[in-house]
Amino acid sequence: MANDRRVDEPAGSAAASSRDRLIAAAQQLYWEQGVSSTTPRQVMQVSGVGQGSLYHHFPAKHELAQAAIAVTVADALATAEGELTSGSPARERLIQYLTRPRDALAGCRVGRLTYEQYVIDDDALNEPVRQYFRRLIALVQDVFAELPGMDEGGSRRRAYAAVALIQGGYVLSRALDEPAALDSAVSGFVDVLNGDAGLP
Amino acid sequence: MANDRRVDEPAGSAAASSRDRLIAAAQQLYWEQGVSSTTPRQVMQVSGVGQGSLYHHFPAKHELAQAAIAVTVADALATAEGELTSGSPARERLIQYLTRPRDALAGCRVGRLTYEQYVIDDDALNEPVRQYFRRLIALVQDVFAELPGMDEGGSRRRAYAAVALIQGGYVLSRALDEPAALDSAVSGFVDVLNGDAGLP
């Protein structure tokens, strides 16, 4: 609607920055309260961007959700990739990925999307989440595969276990309202990995 | 409201059975679509119980949610307790608990509640979920503690890891739309446990 549009926004970098602020606000709100509960009004409040600009960049809520989830997934993968493909020995890289400090009570920014009906029912929102986990498991599997004597099935199964462990640690921390639950789960897994006679 | 009440229901066992059917319907719907999305109308349709009886047994949605979550938690704990306290050797009991067939794509009936804002915001609904995970972790810890040479911290951390792994396996199966993901994660964890030199 024309009377909802604000035209007080310059084109170019300032416009790009409104778009980025809208995405950053959506990411934050999705993390805190989920996609379906997030209203355009909240996105405007958190971003400080006006309604005209919101509807200019994202005519529908779905388009904002797609853009915000894409950025969340890209950021999360970049972090994991940095840890898992660094120059350190394979075992250290695994430990670094597993023990990275995480905001356990807030939940995984990507993982929590898998429990949202709004996301589950929407292939365009689901697909980046699926790609995230596929890529993350592949990255972790490549590191396990570097360990001597590890066959493909073994590295694949251990990668699923490692990625599942982090996701489940978030679930436990949230369920118990206990930030340390994720740490305990990670430490238990690292204990077992350290004792694993199949690993060097 | 008086005109919403049906009085065509006998007292005693039939009334108890309406209550049970309402709870069973709520459990099923919460599992499929979450607590907040479940309407009284859906509960009536799935249970085949009328509106008068619904409001007689559960004057408010919150009371039905409390009752249904309590039954879900009790059932899930009874299953885990059966596996974890059977007469088998400790290692076999752990494997039995970990490898039990699970409907991976549907998600954990209890775990999925931890991502629902409606549940998170409500202490009376949250508390049974918290009790479930506390009790489950304690049960698993007791089994790890039976293994020779295991200290308290070691069994506690491994219990968090085992319970987290199952929860995270559900997250992966749902995220990837891949029923086998949970199995892969469990197999990877069992591989590592089997190789754990700290375990007999």
**Which residue in A33, A107, A160 is closest to B188 by CB distance?**
A160
Query: What separation in angstroms does the CA of A164 have from each of A33, A128, A140, B146?
Result: 22, 18, 11, 26
In the predicted structure, residue A127 carries a pLDDT above the cut 90: yes
- Nearest chain B residue to A33 by CA distance is B117
Band of pLDDT at residue A57, cut at 50, 70 and 90: very high
**Which residue in B157, B170, B188 is closest to A157 by CB distance?**
B188
Distance CA B132, CA A16 (A): 47
Residue B64 belongs to a domain: no
Is residue B128 domain-shared with residue B37, that is, in the same domain?
no
How many of the other CB atoms lie within 10 Å of CB of B76? 17
Query: Of B37, B59, B81, at which residue does a domain stop?
Result: B59
Provide the pLDDT for residue A181: 97
Is residue A96 domain-shared with residue A28, that is, in the same domain?
no
Q: Measured between CA atoms, how close is A9 to chain B, in angstroms?
A: 36
Range of the domain at B5: 1-59
Provide the pLDDT for residue B10: 47
The dihedral built from the CA positions of residue A64, A118, A131 and A154, taken in this order, carries a sign that is positive
Distance of CA A73 to the CA centre of its chain: 5
Contact A172 B163 (CB under 8 A): yes
Tens of pLDDT, residue by residue over B156-189, are 999 999 999 999 999 999 999 999 999 999 999 9
Is residue A44 domain-shared with residue A76, that is, in the same domain?
no
Tens of pLDDT, residue by residue over B91-109, are 999 999 999 999 998 888 9
- Name the 3-class secondary structure at A51: helix
- What residue has token string 């304690």? B138
Tens of pLDDT, residue by residue over A133-190, are 999 999 999 999 999 888 999 999 999 999 999 999 999 999 999 999 999 999 999 9
Is residue B92 domain-shared with residue B21, that is, in the same domain?
no
Provide the pLDDT for residue B196: 61
**Which residue in A114, A130, A196 is closest to B195 by CB distance?**
A196
Band of pLDDT at residue B121, cut at 50, 70 and 90: confident
Q: What percent of chain B has pLDDT over 90?
A: 74
How many of the other CB atoms lie within 10 Å of CB of A23? 21
Query: Of B39, B59, B79, at which residue does a domain stop?
Result: B59
DSSP string, B10-79: -STHHHHHHHHHHHHHHHHHHHHH-STT--HHHHHHHHT--HHHHHHH-SSHHHHHHHHHHHHHHHHHHH
- Which residues 65-104 in chain A show a CB within 8 A of chain B? none
The count of structural domains within chain B is: 2
Provide the pLDDT for residue B32: 87
Provide the pLDDT for residue B9: 44
Band of pLDDT at residue A12, cut at 50, 70 and 90: low
Is residue B160 domain-shared with residue B78, that is, in the same domain?
yes
Least confident of A182-196, B76-90, B132-146: A182-196
Query: Of B16, B39, B59, at which residue does a domain stop?
Result: B59
- CATH code: domain of residue B12: 1.10.10.60
User: Which site among B171, B176, B199 would you substitute to test the A interface, given the most A Cβ atoms closer than 10 Å to its Cβ?
Assistant: B171
A196 phi/psi in degrees, rounded to 5: -65, 110
Residue A64 belongs to a domain: no
Band of pLDDT at residue A16, cut at 50, 70 and 90: low
Instruction: Report, as an integer, the average pLDDT of B43-49.
Output: 96
- CATH code: domain of residue A139: 1.10.357.10
